[in-house]
Amino acid sequence: MTAAAPLARGLEGIVSHVTNLSDVDGTAGRLIIGGYDVHQLAGKVSFEEAAHLLWYGELPNRQQLDELCRHMAVARHLPSPILDVLGGPVRHASGMHALRMAAATLSVDEPDADNLSPDSNRRRAVRITARMPALVAHQQRLRL
């Protein structure tokens, strides 16, 4: 008869992915993002600057930040298929259920959905990141 394997609870000790983007030191209570302690970033960089850090591995200079903000402003537009879903089945769903269903539509008009190159993934990240707040705001307006 063999001994039973020890029972592992939760995800302690489980590595799901290796990344250079961040490091969590739970014992010391530290979170490092893009080489910066989170306390160096919190309240000091904008949402767009933090996104640039995660996507490109560095904080943006003024020109890069302006360009990212322009791209996000254009990408914020919600096309008709997304608006149709928001006005239909999602309209009466509650909280996170509505957000989950609506978020699934954010890339419905993705022109190169099968292209998984880093550049295509960054364009997709900009579009989805820009649309999420617009989606939440639109959903809330519909519910009022």
Task: Encode the chain (144 residues) as per-residue pLDDT tens digits.
Answer: 556 666 667 767 777 777 788 888 888 999 999 999 999 999 999 999 999 999 999 999 999 999 999 999 999 999 888 888 888 877 788 878 888 888 888 888 888 889 999 999 999 999 999 999 999 898 888 877
Domain for residue 44, yes or no?
no
Domain for residue 96, yes or no?
yes
Domain for residue 61, yes or no?
no
Total number of domains in the chain: 1
End-to-end CA distance of the chain: 65
Q: Rounded CA gap, 55 and 129, in Å? A: 12
Domain for residue 139, yes or no?
yes
Q: Rounded CA gap, 91 and 106, in Å? A: 16
Within a 10 A sphere around the Cβ of 107, how many other Cβ atoms?
A: 14
Q: Rounded CA gap, 118 and 115, in Å? A: 9
Domain for residue 105, yes or no?
yes
Q: What is the pTM of this model?
A: 0.77
Domain for residue 26, yes or no?
no
Instruction: Indicate the pairing of strand 30-33 with strand 36-37.
Output: antiparallel
Domain that holds residue 132: 76-143
Q: What is the pLDDT of residue 142?
A: 81
Q: What is the pLDDT of residue 48?
A: 96
Contact 31, 38 (CB under 8 A): yes
Domain for residue 121, yes or no?
yes
Q: Rounded CA gap, 82 and 94, in Å? A: 17
CA dihedral 137, 139, 140, 144 (to 10 degrees): 140
Q: What is the pLDDT of residue 20?
A: 80
Domain for residue 115, yes or no?
yes
